[in-house]
Amino acid sequence: MCTAEITNKPVPLKLRVLHVVRIVLAKVVKFFLSLYYGVEGEKIPPIHDDILKEPAIEVAKKIRNKEITSVEVLEACIRRIKDVNSALNFFVQDRYELALKEAQDADDLVRSGTKTSAQLEEEKPLLGVPFTTKDCIAVKGLQHTAGVVLRKDVVADKDSDAVRLLRQKGAIIIGLTNVPELCMWWESHNHIHGRTNNPYNTTRIVGGSSGGEGVSQAVAASSFGIGSDIGGSIRMPAYFNGIFGHKPSRNIVSNEGQFPIPDSELLNSFLSIGPMTRHAVDLKPIMKIISGENAKKLNLDEPVDIKKLKFFYQYSSKAPLVDPVDPEIKAALKKVTEFLEEQHKLTAEEKQIPLLRKSMPIWLSNMKSTKRFGQYIMKNDSISAICLEIVKNIFGLSPNTLIGLITSLIDHGGIKVGDAKYNHYRKLRDDLENIFTTMLGENGVFLYPTHPTTAPYHNEPLVRPFNFTYTSIINCLGLPSTTVPLGLSSEGLPIGIQVVANYNQDRICFAVAEELDRAFGGWVEPQKS
């Protein structure tokens, strides 16, 4: 059966009914959650240190030029973390003492005069600049739990490759941010560190799995951050927290030092470490560092002429069991296409790619592993043991989250690696990849929602479980994608889109992100009156 025949078949009646029932259930649950949580949530303090609002590259420049010291910047970050973490619970482990020593060493190097500002920029472009990362990317001497209680005493004995490369270029790691259990859900909550709250409204989620890192950047707790993304784990938190987040092209940034590491080359190609920032101009220089030797494949210094790009867009996947895209998100995407036409005389082409309706089963099938989810989070992941833990969870007695247990239970059934259905969806993935690579070519850009709604209430993802497929399908294809903030919704929550380019054309994503940052204002300080 050809792809066209598959995608043009009508959605089965049973699935259409289930879709309507789920939508109605989600609306009912949202109503009751709104009554339970209230409207606004807890207020957080404003940003008092202006240096925290500046791009990381500007912070680095001021440190090199002795306009400010690394110690001063780091102390501002520490103050900010202490100001807001009690309300948001995003920062889970610090290395303040070691970081302050490294900041002092950076300042001593600048003051010594042994290297000029230009030499420092060349050799250590992020000298003295503080950053944070998530608790699944190894930092020597810090916990490496990935939110799994069984790993609560695990301490990393060396830095992950990405952290090592950043530190070699002078950046200073402050500490770790929160994640979901095993980094496999899109609300950041686990039974080691608890739940993380959205700085724009603390009754809302922050996304996952780089949820704590999304908050860290939104509230200016560090100059930049790095996250990881296998199904939207950079881009969804970036979207929910109103910042920029980039998922690189496949196999460009080393995954060494992450937990868990995928057990196949295919799954490893879905997973990427990438930058999370308040300012689009920081994406490229950070990406250049964490790519290591692979940076040369990206030609990041090659100029991008916006006027020579071809733009395509799609408002919705129209996938069953996924929420419709909110009108405000569609309106934001439309404003981008209108801006391109007015400012650059470019007419974006609207697409309707039928195979995107299959995003959910394609990703779920291609993500199947020879190792079950429960084997990572439980000593015994038999069906009976999982059911017992679910009962214990209801009474608050389980070390595992409810979604982790449900995922473990589901993982016992369904598609198996290598069976007919698995191969069928592998083929559909390949077909969709061909559609995108042909469309994008060397200068194409695809504009697409990052998520169909604004940040939901806590626990609401349980009745909207498949909304992450807007990002996850891009992981399946291995394409680079940047989430770009486009202001706030009528409820004061961030909205935006993702910008997708072809393989190793990450610089196009960055150029478009910078252009939209200038045009639409980018990051907005949370709860600023």
Report, as residue numbers or ranges, the catalytic residues.
134, 209, 233
- Inter-residue contact 38 to 458 (CB < 8 Å): no
Report the run of H or E that residue 434 belongs to, with start and end. helix 420-440
pLDDT tens for residues 30-89? 999 999 998 889 999 999 999 999 999 999 999 999 999 999 999 999 999 999 999 999
What's the per-residue H, E or C state across 276-331?
EECCHHHHHHHHHHHCHHHHHHHCCCCCCCHHHCEEEECCCCCCCCCCCCCHHHHH
Dist. CA 219–CA 527, nearest whole Å: 10
pLDDT score recorded for residue 74: 98
Please count the other Cβ atoms lying within 10 Å of the Cβ belonging to residue 156. 19
Q: In percent, how much of the chain has pLDDT > 90?
A: 95
User: What is residue 529's predicted lDDT score, i.e. its pLDDT?
Assistant: 58
CATH for 55-368+415-520?
Answer: 3.90.1300.10
Q: Are 44 and 84 in contact (CB under 8 A)?
A: yes
Model confidence at 9, in pLDDT bands (50, 70, 90)? confident
For the chain, the structural domain boundaries read 55-368+415-520
pLDDT band at 5 (very low <50, low <70, confident <90, very high): very low
In 452-491, which positions are buried (b, 16+ CB within 10 angstroms) versus exposed (e)? Answer: bbbbbbbbbbebbbbbbbbbbbbbbbbbbbbbbbbebbee
Is the pLDDT confidence value at 1 over 90? no
| Cis omega (within 30 of 0) for bond into 216 | no
pLDDT band at residue 414 using 50, 70 and 90 as cut-offs:
confident
pLDDT grade, residue 4 (50/70/90)? very low
227-250: per-residue pLDDT in tens?
999 999 999 999 999 999 999 999
| Pairing, β 272-277 against β 244-247 | antiparallel
What pLDDT, on a 0 to 100 scale, did the predictor assign at position 47? Answer: 98
Task: Find out whether 112 and 127 touch, Cβ atoms under 8 Å.
Answer: no
The pLDDT tens digits of the residues spanning 454-482 come to: 999 999 999 999 999 999 999 999 999 99
Q: Report the mean per-residue pLDDT for the chain.
A: 96
pTM over 0.85: yes
Which residue spans within 64-188 are E strands per DSSP?
A: 91-94, 130-134, 172-177
Give the pLDDT confidence score for residue 10 in this predicted structure: 77
Question: pLDDT-derived band of residue 8, with 50, 70 and 90 as boundaries?
Answer: low
Please give the Cα distance from 64 to 124 (Å, whole number). 10
pLDDT at 11: 82
